[in-house]
Amino acid sequence: MTDDIAVGTAAAAPGEADDGWLPVTELPTGGTERLPVTVANGTGDGPTLWVTGGVHGDEATGVAVAQDAAALVRDRAADLAGAVVVVPIVSPAGVRRNERTTYYGDDDPNRYFPDTDREDERPPETQERIDTALYEAFADSADLLVDCHTAQVGSVPFVIRDRVLYGDVRTEAEAEAIAAELDRLTDAVGLPPLREYPAAEYLGQSLQRSTAGAATNTAGVPAVTLELGGHSVVSEAARRAGVAAVVGAAVEFGLLDEQPGGVAAPGATVPDAPVDFPVRRFVGPRTETAGLVRHKLAPGEAFETGDTVAEVVSPHGEVRETVTADADGYVIGHSEGVAVYEGQAVASTAVRDDGVLVAPREEEGNGEADSGDGV
């Protein structure tokens, strides 16, 4: 028999579920900023799965997947071995303005989760306090975590698998153990896997302070990021794939005996990756010429080094530059808009990766500019 579980005001005895709120900060006009939370507490012993969504306010399908996962486990609490905690809207301020950022700092709310290896004497501001409140809740109870996002225009669904870092916080052997569970979780969700950026770039972009990054590399909780199509509106196909992915994780780790009726098998509705080698996230290729972009490959299409990915044309339609791939891989999604400036990426891609998945934590590099979409 499991114990009672409480997160914020949501509290559930074994075999029960409850909806409530997690207070995260006071508002200057009165009242409290709070996150919706659902707790479903099983009758048997097992792990605790956390599902989060909406850390970026315009990533609507991620919110819908988390909401639907909450509804599913709410109805099946008595059948669970373990518990499921769902927070479908991590950034209420972003959802209110339907934007990636919030009005607390107008920057990425998915870069403020705790990092115990990071020294900072600056007092935490609002977004960091909100992220810390959520982090403390899942670090205290989670055994695994699935964070639901969306990516670029026309993006195909995929799952991001973080690198696991070792150093002052954990030994290499401890990191390898986390990595093994992370591989298991990545396989369970059934989506085409993309490895996260190499370690130096990962740190340079502060991705160890994202929801999944902080869970994995600070709390030691295996966590993956689901990228479920494009942003702003709910994609029904991506929503179904996301719910199947969350349920696949629950089945793999023993929270559910089997895939419930009406829920597809993980990955069943999503095309397989068009390449058979390991890939990682890459923002590019990039244009060296300003102009208007015309994409030559659709999301999900493979390319080889030197293949044309896009053309950049003048206002009169004359080709100014042919943008080619500098590695083998495939297109994940297109960069938003038709106008591009010198040095801007024309696409988000998955490129061949032969790097290690467990890496020493080293000095932060400058990294590559973030695409502004996805995790």
pLDDT digits (tens, 9 = 90+) for 162-205: 999 999 889 999 999 999 999 999 999 999 999 999 999 999 99
Phi, psi of 261 (to 5 degrees): -60, 140
Q: What is the pLDDT of residue 105?
A: 83
Q: Note the pLDDT of residue 2.
A: 66
Band (370; pLDDT cuts 50, 70, 90): low
Residue 368 has pLDDT above 60, yes or no: no
Q: CATH number of the domain at 5-252, out of 3.40.630.10, 3.40.50.300, 1.10.3720.10, 3.40.50.1220?
A: 3.40.630.10
5-252 and 279-360: identical CATH topology: no
**Whole-angstrom Cα distance, residue 282 to residue 186?**
19
Q: Which pLDDT belongs to residue 372? A: 55
Classify burial at 98, counting beta carbons within 10 Å of its beta carbon; exposed 0-12, middle 13-18, buried 19 or more: exposed
Give the relative orientation of helices 172-189 and 236-252 as an angle to the nearest 10 degrees: 130
Q: Kindly list the distances between the CA atom of residue 334 and the CA atoms of 322, 329, 373, in Å, as whole numbers in the listed order.
A: 16, 14, 10
CA angle 230, 218, 130 (to 5 degrees): 60
Least confident segment among 42-56, 104-118, 315-329: 104-118
Tell me the average pLDDT across 209-220. Answer: 97
Question: How sure is the predictor about 46, in pLDDT bands with cuts at 50, 70 and 90?
Answer: very high
- Give the pLDDT confidence score for residue 119 in this predicted structure: 67
What would the pLDDT profile of 89-115 be if each residue is shown by its tens digit? Answer: 999 999 999 999 999 988 899 999 999
Mean pLDDT of the chain: 94
What is the per-residue pLDDT for 269?
A: 92
Strands 193-195, 158-161: pairing kind: parallel
The pLDDT of residue 1 is above 90: no
Segment 314-339 shows an average pLDDT of 97
Residues 6+ apart with CB under 8 A from 22: 7, 8, 9, 10, 34, 35, 36, 37, 87, 133, 134, 137
> Which residue shows structure tokens 């999301």?
299
Distance CA 288, CA 300 (A): 24
Q: 208 — phi, psi (to 5°)? A: -70, -10
Mean pLDDT across 200-221: 96
Provide the residue ranges of all domains of the chain, joining segments of one domain with +: 5-252, 279-360
Banded model confidence at residue 366, pLDDT cuts 50, 70, 90: very low
Q: Check residue 169 and give its pLDDT.
A: 86
* Global confidence as pTM: 0.95
Share of the chain above pLDDT 90, in %: 89
Two structure tokens written together for 72: 């599913």
Torsion of CA 332, 192, 55, 243, to 10 degrees: 130
Quickly name the fold that domain 279-360 has.
Answer: OB fold (Dihydrolipoamide Acetyltransferase, E2P) (2.40.50)
pLDDT at 365: 44
Q: What is the pLDDT of residues 253-269, one digit of tens each?
A: 999 999 898 999 999 99
